Amino acid sequence: MDSNRLEEVLMRNVESLSLSSEQERRMLPRGTGRYPSVKTLKEIMGLIKALIFPAFFDSRYTNRHLRAFSIGVNLEKLFSLLSTEIRRALRFDCNIENPDCPECFKNISNSAEELTLKFIERISEIKRLLYTDAEAMYDNDPAAGSYAEVIMSYPVMQAMIHYRTAHVLKELGVPVLPRVISELAHSATGIDIHPGATIGEYFAIDHGTGVVIGETSIIGNHVTIYQGVTLGAKNFTLDDDGRPVDVPRHPILEDNVTVYSNASILGRITIGRNSIIGGNVWLTHSVPADSKILQR
């Protein structure tokens, strides 16, 4: 091929791709500095998995006494990586006049390190909850051969590890990262749990593909749901700009509720404790405790 032609086309397109449209500029974060890195967040999730399920995901796993070394190393690494990502997230949309001022940088850094320590203080509780989830998945699935199969391989365990991590980060007020973390699991598993949702212990999802759990959902303890279930909004309240408002708009499932495959439960309604919602049901009103709703 004529090498002048090649050069001309490449040079011209480099130029046009280097320009930012007005739309592009509007969508870029106001902050400066590097943005959080999806690749590093994946590495962080790998460390969290190794800390919580060392027998399965810590490649250095050996016996009980020596394990503390590996946990120590992993926790230090987690501190280092996560505090960096939180700092980036804090500066992400910071609209201070001169965000390069070292004062601001120092404040943000300290805050990022504080938030990271607060997260670390909560890993033990995340761990406790995830073991109850694993037990619930196992108890609920006649095809499960062992807890190990559940922990090592069920996509839904991935989804729950990401959700419970993202949820704590969101409670701590960390911006951006919680959603990125939960979408990593959404992409990998087809299970979409918003980090804002509240989910109790012993939570089981079977098969899982296509499950959607909306931002303001509240789920009690010992709840079980199946593939394709949507806990969604029925309709949106719009603000003056016509943009939907972020208000409680997803269902509340009380303890011991079961929802079978492909059911849609929409709006800020309450499903009373011990209720069973059948497959393919489309439900937009509250039901009392002990209800059994089947498709007509």
- CA–CA separation, 3 vs 9, rounded Å? 10
Residue numbers 189-218 binding a second copy by CB under 8 A: 189-192, 194, 196, 207-210, 212, 214-215
Nearer to a second copy, 127 or 268 (CB): 127
Nearer to a second copy, 121 or 290 (CB): 121
- CA–CA separation, 92 vs 195, rounded Å? 19
The reply to whether 152 sits near a second copy by the rule CB under 8 A is yes
Q: Which of 90, 108, 134, 271 binds a second copy (CB under 8 A)?
A: 134
Residue numbers 37-66 binding a second copy by CB under 8 A: 37-38, 51-52, 55-56, 59-66
Nearer to a second copy, 104 or 289 (CB): 104
Length of the chain: 296
Q: Which of 44, 90, 158, 203 binds a second copy (CB under 8 A)?
A: 158
Nearer to a second copy, 240 or 243 (CB): 243
The reply to whether 99 sits near a second copy by the rule CB under 8 A is no
Q: Which residue has the tokens 């490449």?
A: 10
Count residues contacting a second copy (CB under 8 A)?
127
In angstroms, the first-to-last Cα distance of the chain is 67
Stretch that binds a second copy, among 217-225, 239-247, 251-259, 285-293 (CB under 8 A): 239-247
Least Å from the CB of residue 142 to a second copy:
4
The reply to whether 175 sits near a second copy by the rule CB under 8 A is yes
Q: Which of 94, 96, 104, 123 binds a second copy (CB under 8 A)?
A: 123
The reply to whether 154 sits near a second copy by the rule CB under 8 A is yes
* Amino acid (1-letter code) at residue 61: Y
Nearer to a second copy, 34 or 285 (CB): 34
Least Å from the CB of residue 25 to a second copy:
10
CB 211 within 8 A of CB 192: yes
- 140-162: b (≥16 Cβ within 10 Å) or e: bbeebeeeeebbeebbbbbbbbb
Tokens of 286: 């509250």
Least Å from the CB of residue 167 to a second copy:
13
- CA–CA separation, 81 vs 41, rounded Å? 8
Least Å from the CB of residue 240 to a second copy:
14
Q: What number of other Cβ atoms are within 10 A of residue 261's Cβ?
A: 18
The reply to whether 145 sits near a second copy by the rule CB under 8 A is yes
Closest CA to 277 of 291, 289, 288: 291
Q: Which residue has the tokens 């011990």?
A: 274
Q: Is 231 helix (H, G, I), strand (E, B) or coil?
A: strand
- Per the DSSP assignment, residues forming a β-bridge with 270 are 252
- 211-227: b (≥16 Cβ within 10 Å) or e: bbbbbbbbbbbbbbbbb
The reply to whether 285 sits near a second copy by the rule CB under 8 A is no
Least Å from the CB of residue 254 to a second copy:
20
The reply to whether 171 sits near a second copy by the rule CB under 8 A is no
Least Å from the CB of residue 89 to a second copy:
9
